[in-house]
Amino acid sequence: MIAPMDDGKSVEVILIGQEGMLGLRAMLGGRTYRYNSVVQIPGNCMRIQAKVLQAEFDRCGVLQKRVLIYTRYLLAQTTQMAACNRVHRVEQRLARWLLMAYDRVKRNEFPMTHEILSAMLGTPRSEVTIAAGAFRRSGFLRYGRGKITILDRKGLESVACECYQILHEELYSLR
């Protein structure tokens, strides 16, 4: 999910994958949404009308419990990513983003461009290219033709800021 700014810049505010859902705001009664949702990595999803989902949520069953647990994770992710985007270097944030994407798609290779990563990290494309180049030289990843392959997950973890580990632990506490 991307927050657009009036000057045309944008930054990712949350990353949603197979662990979550889009439309939480609508299900909780929100009518409008200022943020853009962009599918970065192809995959499958299910779709359900908000009013149907809201009715099931209101029954206070298993769905409500799972949605509230996921909401807790989204709050943690939003808070942590705001701090991360403010205080950590591009290299650390790029490593965090790649690891979070891997955790959601469960594969080492996925389609991604420096332009998209630039928008996700809220940083100029040239800085993403420099950071990705350093990762390539270190043997952490390979990229080309709109595709990134993670070669050394542990290497990326060694560069990522503490935000990745905090969010990783929070994500896996959902189960």
CATH code of 2-172, in short, is: 1.10.10.10
pLDDT tens-digit readout, 46-62: 888 888 888 988 899 99
Asked if pLDDT for residue 27 goes beyond 80, the answer is: no
How buried is residue 42: exposed, middle or buried, by Cβ count under 10 Å (0-12/13-18/19+)? Answer: exposed
Mean pLDDT along residues 53-82: 90
pLDDT class of 166 with cuts at 50, 70, 90: very high
- Predicted local confidence at residue 109, as pLDDT: 95
- Predicted local confidence at residue 174, as pLDDT: 72
pLDDT class of 175 with cuts at 50, 70, 90: low
Phi-psi region of 123 (alpha: psi -120 to 50; beta: other; left: phi over 0): beta
Distance, CA of 150 to CA of 132 (rounded, Å): 11
Q: What is the pTM of this model?
A: 0.86
Q: Which residue has the higher pLDDT, 21 or 161?
A: 161
Nearest of 125, 96, 28 to residue 67 by alpha carbon: 28
DSSP 72-99: HHHHHHHHHHHHHHHHS-HHHHHHHHHH
> Where do runs of H (alpha helix) occur along 19-144?
24-27, 50-58, 62-87, 90-105, 114-121, 125-137
pLDDT tens-digit readout, 6-20: 898 888 888 888 888
**Structural domain spans, the chain:** 2-172
Which CA distances in Å does 77 have to 33, 164, 165, 168? 19, 10, 11, 10
Q: Helix (H, G, I), strand (E, B), or coil: what is residue 111?
A: strand
Taking residue 97's Cβ as centre, other Cβ atoms within 10 Å add up to 22
